Amino acid sequence: MFILDKLYPIAGKIRNNRSILNGGLFAIYSFFSKGIAFLLVLILASFLTPDDFGRLSMFNTMVALFLIVVSFATNGYGSISYFNDTKEDFKNSISIILLYGVISLFVIALPIVFIIYVPVIDIPFSSYYCWYALLIAFCLFVFGIHQDYYRVQEKIRAYGVFNCGSAVANMILSIFLVVIVFHTWEGRMYAYLGCSVALCIISLILLNKDKLLVVPTNKKKWKEILFWGIPMIPHAASGWLKQGADQYIINSNYTVYEVGIFGFAMTLTNIIATIGSAFNSSHSVSVFKILSSDATDKILALKKQTRLMLIVYIAASIVTVIASTVLVLLFYDKYRVSLPYFWILSISGLLQCVYFLYCNYLFYYSNTKQLMYITFTTSIIHLLLSLIFTRYSLFLTACIYVLSQMIMNAFVYKKSIDLIKKNIENGKIY
């Protein structure tokens, strides 16, 4: 009874906290997009060999790299503009971000041609698939802008309809193409392509319907958005340098089979990161609201918010590890060898959730340069350690994820706390 008495106030706080409730809904919807992609992988794993899984993992890392370049890391500016700018300036921001994406799309097309005809990296699939990866990345960029618009408005129902609908369509098409048509990982790739193009078209139609696609008239916004985004490119690339580059390092030291096994362990780990990202969709909005208000108890409100989110993240991580382990042991015997890697990597997944709790402050105060220095430097450290130690054991590679995430979290925490105290104590209101 004592334990229940202690837990009841916490449960009451969670129940009455709009951010936690919205975060829960965002988490559910996210599982029907990012999360259900994992469930789809589990279904397809019954039909895909570890070698095929390795090829699919490496293709996905290529899409992730192109998404960073195409977006020019400017897409996150839309959320900041929504809270700080006039409606007209917000429209200008959305249009400029899209135009930067179009410009980047054509600029990076030439290097793709070079990769296709003069291969400079060893990839375990046809080089012309790079074009598909590029198109998918651009479509996801456009779709992400529209979803961010729903997120900052807290239109949870519309956000959910998009995510659930796209996830179901993606799953049905992927299963059909993999199981019936192609019998290989290529079926998943073509399903990914088709759904991404459809989402891009629908997003553009809806953005235009909301009159967000305009001819930019605020010339200062071009420079402002560019300078905001440039420091974020290394920051965005830091995640790819870890997971993406590791795929190619493992491939060069082992075989596609090991790429598939380690990639499967990372897929399980990404469930935890997906939960963190989903809750952060709502949490970040709450943080921005608190910081932009004229309340006198901002720090206290932020501390309460952070503690509640930390409880949610720890509980979700524990449940994910237990459930994933049982699932693999019961139904996916050929991927059982990935579990020891997953148990180590799950710690880095939880640390990634903790990172979400503090990076929002750096975004809000437009301290993206500091965030770039921290994330990119730790990613370089991760890359160097991986290049040195991966050849000896993939267990060392898993431990490197935990170490690099701990280092990054320590620096982000210190910088974010300094920013909060400085700006709030100085009475700086946004």
Burial of 242 (0-12, 13-18, 19+ CB in 10 A): buried
Both 358 and 392 in a single domain? yes
Domain count, the chain: 2
Mean pLDDT of 160-177: 87
Predicted confidence at residue 116, as pLDDT, reads 63
Both 114 and 238 in a single domain? no
Q: Are 27 and 276 in contact (CB under 8 A)?
A: no
Mean pLDDT of 113-124: 63
Last residue of one domain, picked from the residues 229, 259, 287: 229
Both 193 and 262 in a single domain? no
- Torsion of Cα atoms, 327 then 332 then 334 then 339, to 10°: -10
Structure tokens at 153: 């408005």
Q: How far apart are CA 11 and CA 88, in angstroms?
A: 41
* Residue in 340, 336, 337, 345 with CA at minimum distance from that of residue 317: 345
Predicted confidence at residue 124, as pLDDT, reads 62
Both 220 and 293 in a single domain? no
From residue 184, give the alpha-carbon distance in Å to each of 50, 176, 261, 266, 336.
11, 11, 17, 21, 21
Q: What is the pLDDT confidence band of residue 2, given thresholds at 50, 70 and 90?
A: very low
| Length of the chain counted residue by residue | 430
Residue 34 lies in a domain: no
From residue 128, give the alpha-carbon distance in Å to each of 110, 189, 364.
13, 13, 40
Q: How far apart are CA 34 and CA 26, in angstroms?
A: 11
Last residue of one domain, picked from the residues 196, 214, 229: 229
Both 237 and 122 in a single domain? no
Residue 421 lies in a domain: yes
* Residue in 404, 350, 341 with CA at minimum distance from that of residue 377: 404
Residue 26 lies in a domain: no
Both 291 and 160 in a single domain? no
Write b or e for each residue in 28-38: b if 16 or more Cβ atoms lie within 10 A of its Cβ, otherwise e.
ebbbbbbbbbe
Which residue type is seen at 55?
R
Predicted confidence at residue 398, as pLDDT, reads 92
Residue 28 lies in a domain: no
pLDDT in tens, 295-348: 667 777 778 878 888 898 999 899 999 998 998 888 888 888 989 999 999 999
Q: Side-chain half-sphere of 10: how many Cα atoms within 13 Å?
A: 11
Both 91 and 188 in a single domain? yes
pLDDT exceeds 50 at position 425: yes
Both 224 and 235 in a single domain? no
Both 103 and 251 in a single domain? no
Both 180 and 305 in a single domain? no
Residue 164 lies in a domain: yes
Q: Are 166 and 33 in contact (CB under 8 A)?
A: yes
Return the DSSP state at 333: G
pLDDT in tens, 146-164: 888 887 777 777 888 888 8
Q: How does the average pLDDT of the chain come out, rounded?
A: 80
Predicted confidence at residue 8, as pLDDT, reads 46
Which residue type is seen at 350?
L
Residue 430 lies in a domain: yes
Q: What is the pLDDT confidence band of residue 173, given thresholds at 50, 70 and 90?
A: very high
Write b or e for each residue in 56-72: b if 16 or more Cβ atoms lie within 10 A of its Cβ, otherwise e.
bbbbbbbbbbbbbbbbb
Q: How far apart are CA 149 and CA 79, in angstroms?
A: 7
pLDDT in tens, 247-303: 888 888 888 888 888 888 988 888 888 888 777 776 777 777 777 766 667 777 778
Burial of 333 (0-12, 13-18, 19+ CB in 10 A): exposed
Last residue of one domain, picked from the residues 180, 195, 229: 229
Return the DSSP state at 182: I
* Residue in 147, 131, 149, 135 with CA at minimum distance from that of residue 70: 135
- Torsion of Cα atoms, 413 then 416 then 419 then 421, to 10°: -60
Both 64 and 136 in a single domain? yes
Which residue type is seen at 227?
F
pLDDT in tens, 77-107: 877 787 777 788 888 888 888 998 888 888 8
Q: What range does the domain containing 286 cover?
A: 1-21+231-430
Residue 330 lies in a domain: yes
Structure tokens at 355: 């990172």
Q: How far apart are CA 284 and CA 79, in angstroms?
A: 10
Question: Taking the model in full, what pTM does it have?
Answer: 0.69
Which uninterrupted H or E stretch holds 217? none
Q: How far apart are CA 20 and CA 423, in angstroms?
A: 26
Residue 379 lies in a domain: yes
* Residue in 237, 248, 242, 253 with CA at minimum distance from that of residue 121: 248
Predicted confidence at residue 20, as pLDDT, reads 58
Both 11 and 73 in a single domain? no
Return the DSSP state at 185: T
pLDDT exceeds 70 at position 429: no
Q: Side-chain half-sphere of 420: how many Cα atoms within 13 Å?
A: 21
* Residue in 340, 346, 282, 285 with CA at minimum distance from that of residue 314: 346
* Residue in 251, 242, 250, 262 with CA at minimum distance from that of residue 382: 242
